[in-house]
Each structure stands twice: as structure tokens, then as C-alpha cells.
Amino acid sequence: MAEIAPLKGLRYNPERIPNLSQVVIPPYDVISAQEQELFYGCNPYNMIRLELGKSTPEDSGASNPHTRAAAYLKEWQRTEILIRDDRPALYYYELDFKGAGGLQETRCGFVCLLRLETFDSGGVRPHERTFQAVKDERLKLMLACNANLSPVFALYSDPRQLVDHTLKVSREPEPVMDFRDREGMEHRIWRVHDQQALQTVQTLMKSKAIFIADGHHRYETALNYRSIQRERHPGAGDHAPFEYIMVYLANMNQSGLTILPTHRLLRHLGDWSPDAFLQSAASFFEVESFGNSEAGRTAWSRALDAAGASRQTAMGFFTRRAPSVFLLKAKTEALLSLLAESGIPEVLHGLDVVVLDQVLLKHLLALPDTFLANSDNIHFKHNLDEALNDVRSGRYDAGFFINPTRIDQVQEVASAGLIMPHKSTYFYPKVGSGMVIHPIVSDERIAP
């Protein structure tokens, strides 16, 4: 059961920050070192100073990126760079972006508070693995700032789109945020205060399961933060703000929901033979060669797309040590037999990313988990042409190219209580940091 609540959001003051594109950033985990520098130079009040502050050689327990983030957050509120809404609201959010093939898409959703649940309750369902070091770092930041700086991106199912309709017809006449970001995407956010609408949405959401799309580390960090705060404030009760987390909820039954593929680029493979790899792959895949001309690569890309459209397990392969790009189409019976023998649950058998990780990387190339967990050995890219060029340039030994995981597959895996491999999904666009902040004030209570 999903228990949601409105919040009194902390937002950039439009009188002080009229151009939100200068301060809003992507989620911390997709920001490169170069982008971090770029965001630092955009505006002195850019969210990068809160979400992903710079480290210095002089850092200590008393002075570090987390303590500086807390100081910035406090100072920006004191000087009214950030202002807090005076009454709780749900924040209805429309995002215009260019999807597959350059087509214009609009994704609808809303920002709210969600009561925290452990995953064994079944109400909130993850689908990807998390890493302890990341959660440890995020917990330090959360303990310093006492705030949800950005929302977890989560999904729910509403085929009749009743939730979106209720929010859309009940929102305030004018958006409180309306801006175009650096990538040309248009963001519009309205507050919804109408009590009947709020109650209707809360009632509609109670019967729905929540599927985490992006933000697994932040959700698990919030659970850890809750445990600490429960010890510190034993009498706070069920409606203490640390019992909730800020989320962006989107209906999975809408056209504007997009998952990008995540291609794998490998290096440090050592003494390996592409010919031997392809020969062994032929036991489980039909191997088709397309040559290495521009026309061949175009035909190869189209064949990969066609396999995805027909829901056929297939992936591309390329190395500079072979004179071609290759498409590997699954021999279903042989592949399913191997996956079953390896103890892979049946619901995962149809996932291209599972086949790639378990069969191609671990079984055929015999790459251990320690190798694949090392970010120096494996990199991830979402743009096929960029990934292919990185292999052609010699930066990587080999590249594996896959179709995106589908929304229904995410739902099936999460509903079964299972976890996909790391980097199985890349929901696009990401939900940025800087639209709404949830300050966790210990003596406040969240209205049910």
C-alpha cells in the first residue's frame, strides 16, 4: 500500500534565481568530473554545491563536502535564495523532451512524500542492486543536511490515468516553475492545494505498488537515516518527517516513459581471442557478420533495433581485433538451458542484460565479478554511435551493444522480488535536483 502525503517544498526564490537552468542539475550519480566543474561555474547557488560538493586536500571530519553542503543549505534559506511554501502541496510536473527518433514526448508525474517501507513489505519494490559505499556517502550527506535534496524516481500503474487527470484539473492556474534546461527540455511544475483533489489522489494511490525506477541508493539511505532518527527521537511517532521520503511518481502506463539501452565497453581483457570467443558464442547464438563499412554498421544497428522490436534476445559485438561488427541472436533452447543450469530465475531469462552479463561476460569470457565491479575495466554508454566510436578509437578492447530493458520487464522482475544486474535500466530523462527540496525538520509532523 502506497501512503503518500503533500509537502511544504523548499524551492528557489524566483525573485533571486529567475533562471532555473543555471541551478538545476542531473542526479549526482550521472555527473562527471567535467560536468561538476561546469556546474560550479554556472551560478554560485547551483545545486552542485549541495549534491556533489568538491573535495579538498584539507578536508576533515569537521570540514568536508557534506558539512559545506549543510552550511550552504542553511545560508541559502537565511538569505532567501531558497524559500519554503507555506502550506503542503503535491507538485504536478510536465516534462517535454525528444524521445526515440527525435519525436517530441511529454512525461507527466508529480512530486510528493511517500511513507518509507522496507522492501520485504512488498509495497515498494526495487529492481537494481545497490553498493554500500555509495549508501554510506549519501547517508553522511543526509545526516549533515537533514533533507531530501532530490526525489527518488518511482513508477506506479494507472491504466485509466485517474491520478494524472485529478492533479491536472486541480492544479493552480500558473506554474511555479517553467523553464528550459541546458539540453532544451521544457519543465513545468504546478502546485496542487485543493483538499478534495489531495484526498482523491491519496485514496487512488493506496492500492498501488511502487516500483523504484531511479534512486535505489537514496531510498535505502533514507531507510538507514530513519533508523538513526528513530533512536534519536523515540517519541516522534508515525508522522515524523523522517518516516517519509520525497519521490517523483510517474504512471508507467504513459507514452512519455523512456528507458535507454546501456551498452558495455570493456578494457584490460588481456590475451583473448575474438575468433575463439565467437566460436564459443555460436553454441548459444546465431552469429551474423555485417562488415565494418558505414553501410554495414547501419544495417547492423537496424538489425539490432529490429530484434528489440520483435522482443528477440540479441546483442551487438565489436572489437578492433575483428574485421566486422557482429549481431548475436539467441538460440533460445540452448540459452535457456544454460541459464536454468546456472540457477538464474526464469523471470530473468528474457532480459538481454542478464544474458549479456551471465552468458557472454561471465560464462564465455570467464570474467569474474571482481573484474566487472571495477569501474576501470567496464564503462557504460547509452548512445550506440558514441559507444561504437569509443571501441573503434582503441580506448576499449570490446563493446557489447544491447536493446533497452522494457517497462513491463522491470515490473515483472520487481514484482517477483528479484534484482537485475547493475546498470540494467537508464530511465530518460532523469529527474533533476533543484526543483523541490524536502527539509526534514524533526519537530514537524506530516499531515496524513
Q: What are phi and psi of 422, to 5 degrees?
A: -60, 140
- Does residue 448 carry a pLDDT above 80? no
- Does residue 148 carry a pLDDT above 90? yes
Residue 115 corresponds to which cell in the numbers above?
511513507
pLDDT single digits (tens) 306-352? 999 999 999 999 998 888 999 999 999 998 899 999 899 999 999 99
Q: How many CA atoms lie within 13 A of 388 on its CB side?
A: 18
pLDDT category of residue 251 using cuts at 50, 70 and 90: very high
Instruction: Please give the distance of CA 46 from its chain centroid, rounded to a whole number.
Output: 21
Scan for cell 531530501, then name that residue: 148
Report pLDDT for 327: 97
- Does residue 284 carry a pLDDT above 80? yes
- Does residue 234 carry a pLDDT above 90? yes
Report pLDDT for 204: 97
What is the CATH code of the structural domain delimited by 262-403? 3.30.1760
- Does residue 422 carry a pLDDT above 80? no
323 CB neighbour count, 10 Å cutoff: 10
- Does residue 170 carry a pLDDT above 80? yes
- 67 or 442, which is more confident? 67
- Long-range (24+ apart) CB contacts under 8 A made by 278-284 are 278/317, 278/322, 278/326, 280/364, 281/317, 281/328, 281/360, 281/364, 283/331, 283/334, 284/330, 284/331, 284/334, 284/335, 284/338, 284/359, 284/364
Average of per-residue pLDDT across 170-188 = 96
Tell me the β-bridge partners of 95.
107, 187
pLDDT category of residue 419 using cuts at 50, 70 and 90: confident
pLDDT single digits (tens) 89-140? 999 999 999 987 778 999 999 999 999 999 988 899 998 888 888 999 999 9
Mean pLDDT of the chain: 94
Torsion angle (degrees, nearest 10) of CA 240, 242, 246, 249:
-70
Report pLDDT for 1: 75
Average of per-residue pLDDT across 252-267 = 91
Average of per-residue pLDDT across 147-164 = 96
Report pLDDT for 318: 96
pLDDT single digits (tens) 50-94? 999 999 999 899 999 999 999 999 999 999 999 999 999 999 999
pLDDT category of residue 447 using cuts at 50, 70 and 90: confident
Report pLDDT for 415: 85
Report pLDDT for 195: 97
Residue 329 corresponds to which cell in the numbers above?
541472436
342-355 core/surface letters (b: 16 or more CB in 10 A; e: else): eebeeebbbbbbbb
Residues of the chain with CATH 3.30.1760: 262-403
Q: How many CA atoms lie within 13 A of 142 on its CB side?
A: 27
- Cβ atoms 427, 16 nearer than 8 A: no
Report pLDDT for 12: 98
Residue 353 corresponds to which cell in the numbers above?
542484460
Tell me the β-bridge partners of 148.
438
Report pLDDT for 411: 86
Angstrom distances, CA of residue 101 to CA of 104, 183, 328: 9, 16, 24
